[in-house]
Chains A and B, each alone.
Chain A
Amino acid sequence: MSNFLDSMMRRLSVWYRRSSIQVVISLSFTIVAVIGMILLGSALLLRFSSSTDALLAEDSRRILDQVNLNLDSYLRSMMRVSDTMYYRVIKNADLAEDSIGAGMNLLYETNRDTVVSIAVFSQNGGLVSATPLSNLKRQARPEQQEWFTAAAEKIENLHFSTPHVQNLFEDPDYLYRWVVSLSRQVELTRAGAIESGVLLVDMNFGGIEQICKNVDLGESGYLYLIDGDGEIIYHPRQQLIYASLLRENNRAAAGYEDGIHREKFGGETRQVTVKTVGYTGWKLVGVVPAESLASNHIQLRLFGIFVVLFFIFFLVFVNLGVSERIAVPIKALEQSVKELEAGSETVDIAIGGPYEVQHLGNSIRSMVSTMRQLMDDIIRQEESKRKSELDVLQSQINPHFLYNTLDSIVWMIENNRYDDAIVMVTSLARLFRISLSRGRTLITVGEELEHARHYMTIQKMRFKNKFTSEIRADGEALGCETVKLVVQPIVENAIYHGMEYADGDGEILVWAHIEGEDLYIDVTDNGPGMRQEQVDRLLREDDGPAAPSRGGSGIGLRNVHQRIQLTYGEPYGLEIESEPDEGTTIRIHLPVRRPGGDGEEARK
């Protein structure tokens, strides 16, 4: 079990770590919200439940207090009837001379709604006076009745009986009324002598019932009244109890102190509130079944659960919205960065969502822009550097060439060949002048061909006319722009590799011409030519850096090719065609541009 839990925890942990930010935010917020709402709801529910219980208990207690007040007031009014009868009527009458009937009748008529009968008995149970019925039943034995004996035992005290059927007087309608008897011992004056008697006031049971029956203790709650021994005085279902169809816990309730109790009776738990009615010792008992209390709790719980569920749903929805608002822009940003990583140059960095994510997007966009600019700068710098390097290489004059040429001039002067020396010196001077060209890297084709011509003049004199050369150019081509010193290295290459074994029959032809938008300068020799492998290797960059060719002016073909491409782009450069024993043609491919026009851009 423990292993299984560990395994589950590990899986969950891994899954959580690998989840997207949206899932993490949604899940975390939702879990926190659910736990929070459940805790909050439970706490509130418990608080409400206890408050409701307390309120209900307090409500029961308050209702019982009110009933007690009413009942007390009712009983006191009965006691006042008894007091009035005793102190205002009986005490003031001598039975030998006076009748108490009139006073008694008046008192009865005043209270006939609540009083069934008023009667005075002598101490041996003889009827002294009674109203409204005055014929004592033949078989009636008042002195044997409980209310009589209780009154006789408690002098000066008022005694309230339990409900019983009044059976003292003849009723022509055979009516038997349930009454509560209020009795007291009284002193009767008869012919000046004092004798004991009993005053009886039978209270209408309906009066007590009226006070108790309309009490609202909830749908299934009720109230009953018992005497000190637990005998039922009033119960809403009294007759059912009398008929043994219902049971009540009245005997146990008689032992309860005032207050709220919990009891189990008839298989159900009940909340019982007890209040003792002053003077009589009767007890009001309010009963509320626990089931009724629980039903309030169930309603409350359901209501609470509903509210909690509602807020959980609401929070989950809000969490989803918030997480989406945060996560979606981040995802879009991540996608942009991925595309950027994959090398896409046109990717547009996504910017959206909250301020921080927008700020991050803007920063990345700015960074990418800066990076691109830096990269362009680096490329430009690299190209510039490369061009500079190539220009430097190109501008280097092979010292051997200079030494050999000057040596040839010395030799010519020593042999008095002054004219040849003059020609050679002049050509060398012109060669250097064009090489310098006031620092320009782009010159006209005419100047370039002039440079090549002077070079070939010098070399022809040095190589004792082992080859002939010819330079041809279309008139239009002469004015076009070209990178400086591109023809001379090729011519040099043709002389050193093509004319080495020539014996006066070597030919070098330089031809500048225009085809459409392209300018071509072909350098053709009739030397031994090359195999295709050699041709292919000539311009390949991985065959090492362009280096001065052996015995040449030190400026290689690759240098020329790279300089042209750096200046005009990939489509341009050198193209080589060669056949062994046939010769070689190296074609310089340039765009047609006029000095001061497009050439300015190239210069930049």
Chain B
Amino acid sequence: MKKRYLLLFAVFLLAFGALFTLLSAAPLQQRPRDYFEISVVTRESDSSIWASIRQGMEQAANDFDVELRLVTLTETNSVSEQRMLLSREAKGGADALILAPADPNALEDAVAEAGIPVVTMQAPVGNAPCISVDNEAMGRELARSMLPRLRTGDRVVLLSIFPGEGAVAGRAAGAKQALAQQGVAVEELWLPGGRGAMGEALSGLLSDPPELVIALEPAALEGAVRVFQGLESAPALCGIGSTSLIVSCLEKKLIEAIAAQNDFAAGYLAIDAAVAAAEGRPLSPAEPIGFSIVRQDTMYLPENQKLLFPFVR
């Protein structure tokens, strides 16, 4: 046989051999996916409020190969700190950011200038995708659930440690809408000083206690229940949030009712949206996260158990 053919044969044989070895060793192994770095900037200094959300985020991080960084503020609701953190995380190589905005309006320019995709939670900022409940509906339903115990002329205080903007503003609007039907007087009590200032302000409230206090976010609800706990003159309390303390107090009827959103789903969907944004995939408009109004007598219904007590693995 001619040398040319032999040479050709040898080359083909070697090529086939190499391919054969590759296929035998690792047939069609999938290329390991790249990890996404996603930073989450909260609006609270206490990360325990985010426990359920965080569980959802960690589950999603595991599913989508995400390296998650949860950044809490040193001062609750600090816009300037959030600005600084947005900039720092973007420069630090994060692929996307999840932000619970302290003040949506004040942070609009910072979000636009971040240079990386930003997904917001609780309240929308500009055109950034937002994972949130329907705040107005949640406030309205919570207030509506308390209407049977209210009479015309009763006083209701809407309480929050955050200024009346963003998510809290929506909840307040919803609550007011429902309460207006009953003809009750609504007062707003904003305690931007956080829990420290809450004790004094709420104690002051007890001198002329309203019929109902509606806390519009978990920190305010926790603060209020701590103050009102054991006081005979304490007004009825309801609010938004489902932390362990809140659930425990609900069970003891220190809290009349809570509006609990599916925090686990919110966390999971926020990471999902952030990954999609980082990959440049088009985002479909997010459905509002579901919520339930839970009372002491309904808290152990199977659906509410799943909502209030996430699995801790």
Chain A residues within CB distance 8 Å of chain B: 137-139, 164-165, 167, 174-176, 178, 205, 209, 237-240, 242-245, 295, 298-299, 302-303, 306-307, 310, 313, 317, 320-321, 324-325
Contacts and interface: CB of A to CB of B under 8 A. Distances in A.
Contacts of A138: 252
Nearest to B312: A178
A245 B251 CA distance: 27
A202 to B, nearest CB: 14
Interface stretch (B20-28, B142-150, B164-172, B227-235): B20-28
A49 to B, nearest CB: 15
A23 to B, nearest CB: 16
Given A178-B311, A306-B23, A317-B9, A245 B268 contact: yes
B9 to A, nearest CB: 5
A302 B27 contact: yes
A244 B311 contact: no
Contacts, number: 83
A243 B253 contact: no
Task: List the 8 shortest-distance A-B pairs measured between CB atoms, nearest first.
Answer: A242-B306, A243-B265, A174-B248, A174-B244, A299-B27, A243-B264, A165-B309, A176-B309
A139 B55 contact: no
B265 A137 contact: no
27 contacts: A138-B252, A139-B252, A139-B253, A164-B305, A174-B244, A174-B248, A176-B244, A237-B59, A239-B55, A239-B56, A239-B310, A240-B59, A240-B268, A242-B310, A243-B306, A244-B290, A299-B28, A302-B23, A302-B27, A303-B23, A306-B19, A306-B20, A310-B20, A313-B12, A317-B5, A317-B12, A320-B5
A325 B290 CA distance: 81
B20 A244 contact: no
Given A174-B248, A176-B309, A244-B290, A167 B265 contact: no
A519 B309 CA distance: 141
A243 B262 contact: yes
Nearest to B29: A299
Given A174-B247, A313-B12, A239 B28 contact: no
B: contact size bracket: 35 or more
B269 interface: yes
A354 to B, nearest CB: 14
B199 to A, nearest CB: 20
Contact of A239 (B9, B59, B247, B248): B59
A164 B244 CA distance: 16
Given A239-B310, A321-B1, A321-B5, A244 B265 contact: yes
A32 to B, nearest CB: 20
B216 to A, nearest CB: 22
B221 to A, nearest CB: 14
A313 B311 CA distance: 59
Nearest to B26: A299
A137 B250 CA distance: 13
Nearest to B262: A243
A165 B16 contact: no
Contacts of B23: 302-303, 306
Nearest to A306: B23
B16 A313 contact: yes
A165 B264 CA distance: 17
